[in-house]
Amino acid sequence: MNVPALARRRNGQLIGGRGSLNPAGRPRISIGQLRETYAHKLPILFDRLFWIATHATSERVQIAAISELLDRLLGKPQVTIEATHTSVSVAELYKAAMLKASRANSVPSEQMVEGKANETDGDNLINGHADRAGAARD
């Protein structure tokens, strides 16, 4: 294989715009053409694969050959994927957080009904928040 030397950086990366490792591009031959060309050899290839599966001295080679035969003859086994899809609404989460914060900092409803929400009890408001500006004026 005769590939021309391409300009590279010190770390080995190609410098952009200076050529390609595959200048001819993707091969134009299609899978259909390959099947037509080699279809008549399939019986020979399957016989050889079967011979390897039954006569190879290494069990790993036999298992690989058997696996290839089964994959080609019966098809690869189906893979079942169990997945859970969860939809999260950020707007709803934000709304719930704001409601929770609002409830935590709000005046109890009994005080609002009785009109005591803005009354002071010493230096502090009844709802527990200090009125620093009001306390300084008194």
Residue 123 has pLDDT above 50, yes or no: yes
Q: Which of 11-25, 79-93, 112-126 has the lowest mean pLDDT?
A: 112-126
Q: How far apart are CA 26 and CA 20, in angstroms?
A: 12
Residue 132 has pLDDT above 70, yes or no: no
Q: b vs e for 98-135, b when ≥16 Cβ sit within 10 Å of the residue's Cβ?
A: eeeeeeeeeeeeebeeeebbeeeeeeebebeeeeeeee
Q: What is the pLDDT of residue 64?
A: 93
Main-chain dihedrals φ then ψ at residue 132, nearest 5 degrees = -65, -40
pLDDT digits (tens, 9 = 90+) for 32-49: 888 888 889 989 988 999
Residue 13 has pLDDT above 80, yes or no: yes
What integer is the mean pLDDT of 83-89? 86
| Residue 27, helix vs strand vs coil | coil
pLDDT digits (tens, 9 = 90+) for 16-75: 777 777 777 777 777 888 888 888 998 998 899 999 999 999 999 999 999 998 888 888
Q: What is the pLDDT of residue 54?
A: 93
Q: What is the pLDDT of residue 138?
A: 47
Q: Where are the domains of the chain?
A: 31-73, 107-138
Quick one: which H or E segment has residue 48? helix 42-55
